[in-house]
Amino acid sequence: MNFDLSEEQQLLGESVRRFAARDYAFDTRKRILASAEGMSASVWRTFAEMGLLGLPLPEDAGGYGGGAVDLMGVMEVIGEALVVEPYLPTVGLGAQLIARAGSAAQRAATLPAVAEGAMKLAFASTEEGSRYDLARVATRARSEGGGYVIDGTKRVVTGGPFADRIAVSVRTSGAEADAHGITLLLVDAKAQGLVMTPYRTLDGQRACDLRFDGVHVDSGARLGAEGEALGVIEGVVDFATALVCAEAVGAIRYANEATLEYLKSRKQFGVAIGSFQALQHRMVDMMITYEQARSMASLACTVVDAAPSPAERRHAVSAAKIKIADACRHVSQEAVQLHGGMGMTEELKVSHTFRRLTVIAQQFGDADHHLERFAASS
Amino acid sequence: MDLNYSAGEVAFRDMVRGWLRENLPAELREKVVDYDHFTREELLRWHRILARQGWIAPAWPQQWGGNDWSPVLRYIFDEECGYAGSPPLVPFGLAMCGPVLIRFGSEAQKARFLPRIYHGEDFWCQGYSEPGSGSDLASLKTRAIRDGDHYIVNGQKTWTTLAHYADWIFCLVRTGDAQEKKQEGISFLLVDMKTPGITVRPLMLMDGGHEVNEVFFDDVRVPMGNRVHDEGKGWVVAKYLLSHERLNTARIGTSRRELERLKEYAGRQGKGGRTLLEDPRFRDRLTRLEVELTALSITNLRFLDQLRGGRAPGAEVSMLKIRGTEIQQMLTELMMQAAGPLAQPFAPLGDAPDFDLYTAGFAPRYCNFRKTSIYAGSNEIQRNIIAKMGLGL
């Protein structure tokens, strides 16, 4: 048994932390949020230079062959600093789909560019009626002239407005909820017939809806075998779920530290409010929640790296996400409550952490979704 | 024992319900339903409709336009308005400054201010909290020093709801010296927001809305005639106001409407081949909330019934506030949960005719409603009150 990160993993975490402290302070983040672009090209370049974009990519594609555990430290800093650049959509989702399902040619055409910071990706899966069910795909692609024609609408594609290419789950056969008949297509974000409705999400990130009006792609756009993409998609989404659990740990840690600091410094009735037992116990519960979240993030990350059977993986990742979703809710709500009105202001970082934790609680499935999946995989 | 309204109360409820159907403007109701923010004019429009009907200040003495309704009738009226989707009535004039003037104001102050509050001619806000004085209100530092027949006020108020709409602010200020017990030496002043030296600065909240402000006083001259009650008696006035608060803090009518909306929305969302409303897990959450709301509404009625015997409300108000706000918050949370991933979109970028504004209202509402367990005496302070007043701890 050994819960420690390796020396290499620790060093990487520390260097990302130093970067965030220096170049991603809360004021800097505010400016990035307010900018027309909604992300910082220079931050992205630095990510590439630090090797963060290639970290979990295969070595033959310009990466370092890292896994989820290697990324834990990075994700924690992303959670702590509330990084809005599309790291998870590009590295955790898009590049993973290509790395796992793509041909050698497809990998060569995309992954080195991702590692260099020259290409950003996103994954379009959610639909109006799908909720968190990856198999519920109504967007259709029919074969035509050796390629495909796509019709349908994808919702809430995180990082979509930044993406150069978007991996899209489409139905090539079967009924709306069939496990078989789902195909992955890699679509150029500027493809003709693709209509994008961009917006800001609750956590300050950017996402979009995508309407496909007879979008043509050639056969080279297909990642993996036709109709058999669900297994890969589930594996990659579990990988990204493990990463977002680690991100939550960083955000929760920040919320707890800020709240503790507030309890110690805010004075009412002539004393620090942290001297009130009613509030001390609340803070203690937040700390216990943090410790358990941390444990469950470790479980999720080690299990997705160990590549057990899909059933074992589902079981562990869902267990982790249940605890993480509950932890996000508990800590975010208590952090705001214990800060009082200040916790609700745009001015204070804790309100931004509240919003990110609120989104993480639902991202890739809320607690109820994972309760159901856990029960089904027991 | 009979938990039902009397025939007279039922008739009153039906009458109010029918009137609201006829007189609540659809466009105002729509804004309530869509969680929109109200402009000053929209708030005053509804105020004036009720004033014309003679229903704007039922708890006031009849001399000033009150209705002599029993606490139960006032409760029924409030809950019917909430259920129908009426715009909020801003409480600072009607439920705060008005009752204070009626109890402590001079005849001149009553004659000057009460009719204008009643008819919605003056918009009031409340100058209580300060940066260093929230739960510990009595530690406030804004100072008023006598200068001839004026006070000169310096200091800062915060969390001042709708100060940017207000014509007047009532303030607790320190007039005594620093040596006294902190509850003493506080006075209650009425200040014209147009007086030179007042600056209002918005405090933006995380839902993107502007409802609260900081208000700065820099050598603001206030006529002595605008002090309510004696100098140094401001804390007596503030405490009266707290005990005067009506038993409508639970907002059961509003929550009942939100619950119906949640059911309607969940009935339209698909989940695994059926609707979310048919999903046992979600249904259980919804049912628990509905039962919680039923329990609160019966408790509220039971407290009102006790009041009929003439006893002043004490810890009951705090209990209703705690449970009422918890239910309101849970409703906003379940709306978000019902929308699932579709709850994330927040604000469109550029021209986006397809953007789903309806669902995009859920997350800001959830964020905004964290305030309900913080404002008007945080739920922690309410528990302290119950421990002290209710349990003698």
A312-338: per-residue pLDDT in tens?
999 999 999 999 999 999 999 999 999
Q: Kindly report the length of chain A.
A: 378
Residues B102 and B66: beta-carbon distance below 8 Å: no
Of the residues B130, B245, B258, B316, which is catalytic? B245
A35, A156, A169, A202: which to substitute to probe chain B, counting the most B Cβ within 10 Å? A202
Give the mean model confidence (pLDDT) for residues A51-70: 94
β pairing state of B168-174 and B124-127 = parallel
Active site residue B316: no
Chain B residues with CB under 8 Å of A198 CB are 348-350, 352
- Residue linked to tokens 């909290």: B129
pLDDT computed for residue B245 by the predictor: 58
B76-135 residues touching A, CB cutoff 8 A: 129, 132-135
Name the pTM for this structure.
0.97
B344/A359 CB distance under 8 A:
yes
Which of A199, A337, A347 is nearest residue B373 as measured by Cβ atoms?
A: A337
Mean pLDDT score, A140-159: 97
CB atoms within 10 A of CB A76: 24
Q: How far is CA A161 from CA A124, A197, A244, B292, in A?
A: 12, 9, 20, 43
SS3 A327: helix
Token readout for B298 is 């019966």
- pLDDT tens string A159-197: 999 999 999 999 999 999 999 999 999 999 999 999 999
Residue numbers in A near B352 (CB within 8 A): 197-199
Q: Is B191 left (phi over 0), alpha (psi -120 to 50) or beta?
A: beta
SS3 per residue for chain B? CCCCCCHHHHHHHHHHHHHHHHHCCHHHHHHHHCCCCCCHHHHHHHHHHHHHHCCCCCCCCHHHCCCCCCHHHHHHHHHHHHHHCCCCCCHHHHHHHHHHHHHHCCHHHHHHHHHHHHCCCCCEEEECCECCECCCHHHCCCEEEEECCEEEEEEEECCCCCHHHCCEEEEEEECCCCCCCCCCCEEEEEEECCCCCEEEEEECECCCCCCEEEEEEEEEEEEHHHEECCCCEHHHHHHHHHHHCCCCCCCHHHHHHHHHHHHHHHCCCEECCEEHHHCHHHHHHHHHHHHHHHHHHHHHHHHHHHHHCCCCCCHHHHHHHHHHHHHHHHHHHHHHHHHHHHHCEEEECCCCCCCCHHHHCHHHHHHHHHHHHCCCCCHHHHHHHHHHHHCCC
CB pairs under 8 A between A and B: 141
Cβ <8 Å between A177 and B273: yes
Residue B179, pLDDT score: 67
List chain B residues with CB under 8 Å of A137.
none
Interchain pair B346, A201: CB under 8 A: yes
Is A279 within 8 Å of B380 when comparing Cβ atoms?
A: yes
For the record, the structure tokens of B278 come out as 């048919």
Q: What is the least distance, in Å, from the CA of A281 to any CA of chain B?
A: 13
Say which of A200, A201, A351 has its CB closest to residue B206. A351
Cβ contact, residue pair B206, A209, below 8 Å: no
Tokens of A43: 């931050």
Widest CA span of chain A, in angstroms? 78
Q: Give the whole-angstrom CA distance, residue A55 versus residue A72.
A: 12
Residue A260's SS3 state is helix
Taking an 8 Å cut-off on Cβ atoms, the answer to whether B340 and A347 are in contact is: no
pLDDT at A250: 98
Question: What pLDDT shows up at residue A1?
Answer: 85
Collect the ranges in chain B with pLDDT lower than 50. none
